Amino acid sequence: MKKIRKGQYGYRDQHKKSRLLMTGLFVAAIIAQLVARQLTGDQAAKNILTVMAILTVLPMANLASPLLASWKYRTGDPAFYEHARKYETACTMLYDLIVTTKEQILPLDVVAVHPNGVFAFCSSEKADLAKAEKALNTLFSANKLDPNVKLICDPHAFWRRMDSLKPASEYEDDGVVDYAAALMKNLSM
């Protein structure tokens, strides 16, 4: 099976499966340690197995918390993805990102990184896009990028915006697009 990297279509589902597998392995290890603790008669061994089980919980929690936060967000519709692929010649396209701010989780199905800004389709109807845009633009400013992030939840408005973009090749390449795309990947789970 080919590994899907962050920013590629299908990342959410694959990431969820791998996190679920790793969390399951940690749970099995914890249970095995607790069973071994019950089977041993030596008090020192019981103490060591208890400490091992407690220490195994910490990395498991680090794996499980993002899994739980992103559980309801699946990879988007393949037809939506196919429609978005035609814009890959005009700008850098990222798919299946889940960006978190202090207040909310944003499932960004498609992110277009263009010299004019970053335009993202957010599939969450409950997201407060104004607050999310403000938080993302603050992060962009902190990373010395122009705060030009625009979140769009209406697919028709998103496609209209994508149609209005000129190809990125018509702009001078100063590395900002690649830097902004890398930042969006880093902000994602």
In a domain, 59, yes or no: yes
Q: What is the DSSP string of 134-167?
A: HHHHHHHHHTTS---EEEE--HHHHHHHHHHPPP
Q: Within this chain, do residues 82 and 135 fall inside the same structural domain, yes or no?
A: yes
Supply the range of the domain harboring residue 53: 11-69
Q: How many domains does the chain have?
A: 2
Q: Within this chain, do residues 46 and 134 fall inside the same structural domain, yes or no?
A: no
Q: What confidence category does residue 76 fall into, taking pLDDT thresholds of 50, 70 and 90?
A: confident
Q: Within this chain, do residues 97 and 179 fall inside the same structural domain, yes or no?
A: yes
Q: Within this chain, do residues 106 and 135 fall inside the same structural domain, yes or no?
A: yes
CB of 129 closer than 8 Å to CB of 172: no
Q: What are the tens digits of pLDDT across the range 135-183?
A: 998 998 898 888 889 999 999 999 999 988 888 777 777 888 888 888 9
Residue 1 has pLDDT above 80, yes or no: no
Residue 121 has pLDDT above 80, yes or no: yes
pLDDT of the residue at 161: 92
pLDDT of the residue at 103: 86
Q: Within this chain, do residues 53 and 28 fall inside the same structural domain, yes or no?
A: yes
Q: Within this chain, do residues 90 and 161 fall inside the same structural domain, yes or no?
A: yes
> What number is the average pLDDT over the span 118-141?
89
